[in-house]
Structure formats: structure tokens, C-alpha cells
Chain A
């Protein structure tokens, strides 16, 4: 065994000694239990917070949207007149709300990097 081999072994032993308390059976079981518990309830708090914020935001926006879309000029003739029923303030507000809810649903399952 060369000097280098001896030092390598000493280094490995030092790392193993430092990690020894972590390999205790009770310690390992407790840590694994914590991880498994997080797997079955992933980010519950985050989902509640984002869902709550999204709902409040949508509710506030919903009360304002009708007023905003009221000002849209609906064409009385031409091709656009055929889809005028889609351009009523209520429909446009509902569409905007659907988009907002879709965005919340898209973000909710993602983890913060």
C-alpha cells in the first residue's frame, strides 16, 4: 500500500465516521417516514395558498370585467355581426374568468424551482 492509498483510506474512513450517526436504524426510519409523508401530501399549503389567491383574484376581476367589456362596440352588420352573441359583456367576462382559472390550474401542480 502506498502513502497515497493509506491517505485515501483514512479519508474514506473519516467520511464514513462522519456519516455514521445518519446510518442509525431509528434515524434512517424517521427520515424515510418524513419523506414518504411529504410524498402523500405534496405541498398542500402551497396548493391552498395559490388556489385561495387565484379564487380571490378571479372574484375581484369578475366584478370589474363586465364594466370593461361594456365599452366594446358590437358590430351590427357584416361578418362580425354573426358572432356578436359571443361579444356580449357577460360572455367575454366569463371567457376571461375561464382563462384566469385555467392559468391557476396550470401553475398549481408545478413545484417552485
Chain B
């Protein structure tokens, strides 16, 4: 019988068992990498951040209180890693702008079809809206989990999700009209 997330987490907390942690990574890497790919719009950077996320999670596993799911906890660490990287990229971009050579922080999407549509649609959202929408729809986090992970008030998260969702709906409706 497969061990549950809770059992694996308890084992990692008690013994720092790398194999048990590897199994947790294997189970949740899709959600974390998916979330970071949608937020960063850069697959290579997203994978690097996802690795950093899991390393950081292993280091501070003792601080996991078990109040939410381990998946939400990984996602909140991923969000922190994303913010740190975004801050670094912003300062790099400013430095590059000073020398008159703007740096492109996005890459052309590798996937075709609907995934490209989704990434284009997400690109129309503000950063906070994109984060809130990705957390709730991609990671399956509740509004309160997303609020806890981002440190934003619950009401703010709800309005970001609603506004982001409305923009996405409008974007997809417009694309369908253009296509028909």
C-alpha cells in the first residue's frame, strides 16, 4: 500500500529521509512546476525555481505545522521563491535598461494550442491577479490558503481572483469571436 502524504511528511520531519521526500517531490512536482511556469512564463527559470522550492522545503520541513495540505505548503514556498526571483530580475532589467538593451523576460511558449492561449490570456492579467488565479485554479488552493500563502488579505485575494477570472473570460470570448 502506498504511504499517504501525511505519513511521508512525518517520516521526513522525524528522520530527514531523502527517499521519502523524493516521493513527495514526485507526487507534487507537477503542481509546483505548473504554477511556476504559468507565473514566470519561462520554463527553464520555472524548473530552477521549482528545484529551489523543494530544497528550501526540505531544509525547513520542521516549520510545517500540518494545518494545510503539504501541496499548499509547497506552493506557498514556490510563491516566495518566485517573488525573490522576480525582484532580482527587476533589478537586472533596470540595469540593462540603463545600457539601452532591454532584456526579454519571457520566452516563446514551447507548447502549442490551448496552452499558448492560456499563457497569452494570463499575460493580460496584472501580476497579483495572475498569482491569485494560478494558485486557485492551477494548484487547487482555496481562497484562504492562497491568502495565507501570499500574505494578502482574504478579501483582496477574492477580488483578484474575480477580476482575473472576468478578464480571462473576456479574453477567451474575444478569441472565439475572432476565430469564428
**B55 close to A14 (CB less than 8 A):** no
- Are A15 and B137 neighbours in the complex by a CB distance under 8 Å? yes
Query: At the interface, is chain A mostly helix, strand, loop or mixed?
Result: helix
Q: Is the CB of A12 within 8 A of B55?
A: no
B55 touches A19 (CB 8 A): no
A83 close to B (CB within 8 Å)? no
Shortest beta-carbon distance, A95 to chain B, in Å?
Answer: 33
- Shortest Cβ gap from A87 to chain B (Å): 43
Q: B18-26, B65-73, B100-108: which lies at the A interface? A: B18-26
A46 at the interface (CB under 8 A from B): no
> CB within 8 Å of A: which of B1-37?
18-19, 21-23, 25-27, 29-31, 33-34, 37
Tell me how far the C-beta of B107 lies from the nearest C-beta in chain A, rounded to whole angstroms.
15
- In the complex, which of the residues B18, B38, B55, B172 contacts A15, with contact meaning CB atoms closer than 8 Å? B38
A34 CA to B21 CA, complexed, in Å: 12
- Chain B, interface SS category: helix
- With beta carbons under 8 angstroms apart, the residue of A11, A18, A39 that contacts B165 is A11
- CB contacts (< 8 Å) of A42 on chain B: these are 55
Could you tell me if A39 and B21 are in contact, using CB atoms closer than 8 angstroms?
Answer: yes
Report whether A31 and B18 are in contact in the complex, using a CB–CB cutoff of 8 Å: no
Report whether B22 and A32 are in contact in the complex, using a CB–CB cutoff of 8 Å.
Answer: yes
Take A28-B29, A32-B25, A36-B25 as given contacts and tell me if A15 and B58 are in contact as well, using a CB distance cutoff of 8 Å: no
Q: How far is the CB of B81 from chain A (nearest CB, A)?
A: 10
A15 and B22: CB pair below 8 A? Answer: no
> Restricting to A1-22, which residues have a CB under 8 Å from any CB of B?
7-8, 10-12, 14-15, 17-19, 21-22
* Residues of chain B with a CB closer than 8 A to A38's CB: 51, 55
A residues contacting the other copy or chain, number (CB 8 A): 27
**A15 CA to B19 CA, complexed, in Å:** 29
B positions within 8 Å CB-CB of A? 18-19, 21-23, 25-27, 29-31, 33-34, 37-38, 47, 50-51, 54-56, 58-59, 84, 111, 114-115, 117-119, 133-134, 137-138, 140, 165, 168-169, 172
Chain A interface residues (CB < 8 Å from chain B): 7-8, 10-12, 14-15, 17-19, 21-23, 28-29, 31-36, 38-40, 42, 111, 113
Q: List 10 tightest A-B contacts by C-beta distance, closest first.
A: A19-B34, A32-B26, A15-B138, A22-B30, A23-B30, A36-B22, A32-B25, A18-B115, A35-B54, A32-B22
A32-B23, A32-B25, A36-B22 given; name 9 further pairs at CB < 8 Å: A11-B165, A12-B137, A15-B38, A15-B137, A18-B37, A19-B34, A28-B29, A31-B25, A31-B33
